[in-house]
Structure 1
Amino acid sequence: MSYETMHQFRDPAAHPLFAELSVVEVLRTVETDDGLPVPAGSHGTVVAIYGGGKAYEVEFARPVIGNCTLSADTLRAA
């Protein structure tokens, strides 16, 4: 996702479900932006919020290193 695309979805007035730097858990297996699988139950850190909380950029350090852009219904608080 390009820098311009990412920032057009930012809405500073919105109240997202998760704040930036929140630790979240994925509810199903997802893929990083590089195509690596991240198993369900993995914990990551929210690094960006899009569409007022409709989607989140999540950074993972284990079991794989990478970022994913995920919809809110794919996540829960860890």
Structure 2
Amino acid sequence: MPRQIVGMTIETLYRQRPPQSTAQPFEELAVVATLREISTDEGLAVPAGTEGTIVMVYAGGEAYEVEFTAPVVGLATVRADGLRAA
């Protein structure tokens, strides 16, 4: 008999879990672009599509410290789902 958790089988829970990301994490010094508007650590708006350089990788690629030089100069911590390769 399948083990049940709150009225659901483990198989049902497994099927309903969010898909695991297959994206490879970026490495330090990789050039990336933002997928949406973000804010720098100083609160300045960085428009979507702005390119920057990764200067630190957090939690195995869950988030990145990105340095921007134009049109805004600053650093921002950005989740992996907010970046793409440039």
| Superposition TM-score, scaled by structure 1 size | 0.79
Aligned residues: 63
Which portions of structure 1, spanning 4 or more consecutive aligned residues, are displaced by more than 3 angstroms? none
Q: Taking CA–CA contacts closer than 8 Å with sequence separation of 6 or more, which of the two structures ends up with the larger relative contact order?
A: 1
Which is greater in Rg? Answer: 2
| Superposition TM-score, scaled by structure 2 size | 0.72
Instruction: Point out where structure 2 has 5 or more consecutive residues left out of the alignment.
Output: 1-23
Cα drift, residue 63 of structure 1: 0.4
1:28-43 to structure 2, matched below 5 A, reads 28-43=36-51
Cα drift, residue 17 of structure 1: 1.1
CA distance in 1, matches of 2:39, 2:77: 9
Name the SS of the counterpart of 1:73 in structure 2. helix
Match of 1:22 in 2: 30
Cα drift, residue 22 of structure 1: 0.2
Instruction: Point out where structure 1 has 5 or more consecutive residues left out of the alignment.
Output: 1-15
Percent identity for Structure 1 against Structure 2: 59
What is the RMSD computed on CA atoms of the aligned residues?
0.7
